[in-house]
C-alpha cells in the first residue's frame, strides 16, 4: 500500500492494481469489504498521522514516525452508508479506535487508546491509479497527536530498545572441582560458631648448665675426674693427677 495524495481533512489515493473487469480489486470485492478492509484502516491511520505531523515541530515531529509505526487503527462495526454508482464512491461510517504506545500521549493515561465516530469515503481515482480516501471527523484526535510532546517518550523507548538489543552474557560458570574450592558452609543464625581449641603450650627445656654443655673430658683434671666415666682410662689418669697434686 502506498498513499499518493493527501488533502482537506484527509484525502489519500492508494494504488491497489487492476482487477479482471477493469475495476480496482477493492471495488471488485464489494462496498462492504471496502469499508472494513485492512487497506482502508491502514490508509486512514496514515491520513491521521500525516495531518498531525503538519502540526508538530522539533523533536516531537521526528519521533512521530516511530509513534505511527507502533500505533494501530481498528475499524469497529463499519457500515456502508451510500454508494454512488456513477462515480463508484462508497461512503462508510465506523467507530475508529486508535491504540498508541504506552506513555506516548500522556493525556490518554495508561490505557493509551482513544476512539471516535468517523465517516470516510472510498472511490477509484479518475486516472485509474488506485483508490482515493477522504476522512471526516478526525480533527480532535489529529490535534491531540500533533500537539503532543513525544521527545521524552522517544528517549525512554530508545533506551529500552538499546538495552534489549545488547548481547546477553553467555559466560558459563566454572564448576567447583575440589573440596578446597567449595564455598564455606554457612552457620545458622541460632547456631554458635565452632569453638577453636588453643594448642597446649610446649614446655621449654631448662637451660643447660655450662658443665652439661661441655664434654666430660674437655676441661681440667678435676672436671674430667668429676664427670668422666670411672672406668675410662682418661678419667682414672685425671683423678690420679688431681690427687697427686692435692697431696703435694
Per-residue pLDDT, 4: 40
Per-residue pLDDT, 157: 84
Are 215 and 158 part of one and the same domain? no
CA pseudo-torsion sign 97, 99, 104, 106: positive
Residue 22 domain flag: yes
Q: Give the span between the Cα atoms of 41 and 30, in whole angstroms.
A: 16
Are 82 and 143 part of one and the same domain? yes
221 is in which domain, residue-wise?
210-248
39-83, pLDDT tens digit by residue?
999 999 999 999 999 999 888 888 899 999 999 999 999 999 999
Please compute Rg for the chain using Cα positions. 52
Per-residue pLDDT, 218: 79
Cα distances (Å, whole numbers) of residue 215 to 82, 206, 218, 223, 227: 137, 19, 5, 9, 9
Residue 205 domain flag: no
Are 27 and 150 part of one and the same domain? yes
Are 82 and 151 part of one and the same domain? yes
Are 153 and 245 part of one and the same domain? no
Say which residue, 196 or 80, is predicted with more confidence: 80
84-95, pLDDT tens digit by residue?
999 999 999 999
Are 19 and 125 part of one and the same domain? yes
Per-residue pLDDT, 170: 64
Q: What average pLDDT does the structure give for the chain?
A: 77
Are 157 and 220 part of one and the same domain? no
Residue 4 domain flag: no
Are 131 and 25 part of one and the same domain? yes
Are 33 and 107 part of one and the same domain? yes
Considering its fold, how many domains does the chain have in total? Answer: 2
155-172, pLDDT tens digit by residue?
888 777 777 776 766 666
Q: What is the pTM of this model?
A: 0.56
Burial class (CB in 10 A: 0-12, 13-18, 19+), 118: buried
Are 29 and 145 part of one and the same domain? yes
216-246, pLDDT tens digit by residue?
777 888 888 888 887 788 878 888 788 777 6
Are 32 and 124 part of one and the same domain? yes
Residue 45 domain flag: yes
Amino acid at each position: 500500500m502506498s498513499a499518493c495524495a493527501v488533502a482537506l481533512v484527509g484525502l489519500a489515493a492508494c494504488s491497489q492494481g487492476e482487477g479482471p473487469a477493469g475495476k480496482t480489486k477493492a471495488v471488485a470485492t464489494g462496498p462492504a469489504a471496502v469499508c472494513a478492509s485492512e487497506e482502508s484502516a491502514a490508509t486512514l491511520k496514515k491520513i491521521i498521522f500525516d495531518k498531525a505531523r503538519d502540526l508538530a515541530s522539533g523533536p516531537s515531529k521526528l519521533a512521530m514516525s516511530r509513534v505511527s509505526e507502533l500505533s494501530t487503527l481498528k475499524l469497529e462495526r463499519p457500515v456502508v452508508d451510500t454508494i454512488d454508482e456513477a462515480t463508484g464512491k462508497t461512503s462508510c461510517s465506523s467507530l475508529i479506535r486508535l491504540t498508541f504506545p504506552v506513555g506516548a500521549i500522556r493525556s490518554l493515561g495508561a490505557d493509551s487508546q482513544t476512539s471516535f465516530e468517523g465517516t470516510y469515503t472510498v472511490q477509484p481515482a479518475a486516472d485509474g491509479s488506485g483508490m482515493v480516501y477522504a476522512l471526516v471527523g478526525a480533527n480532535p484526535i489529529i490535534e491531540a497527536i500533533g500537539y503532543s510532546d513525544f521527545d521524552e517518550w522517544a528517549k525512554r523507548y530508545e533506551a529500552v530498545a538499546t538495552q534489549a538489543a545488547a548481547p546477553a552474557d553467555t559466560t558459563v560458570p566454572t564448576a567447583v572441582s575440589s573440596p578446597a574450592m567449595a564455598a564455606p558452609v554457612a552457620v545458622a543464625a541460632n547456631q554458635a560458631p565452632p569453638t577453636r581449641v588453643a594448642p597446649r603450650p610446649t614446655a621449654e627445656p631448662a637451660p643447660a648448665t655450662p658443665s652439661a654443655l661441655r664434654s666430660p673430658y674437655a676441661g681440667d683434671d678435676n672436671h674430667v675426674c668429676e664427670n668422666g666415666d670411672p672406668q675410662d682410662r682418661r678419667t682414672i689418669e685425671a683423678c690420679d693427677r688431681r690427687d697427686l697434686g692435692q697431696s703435694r
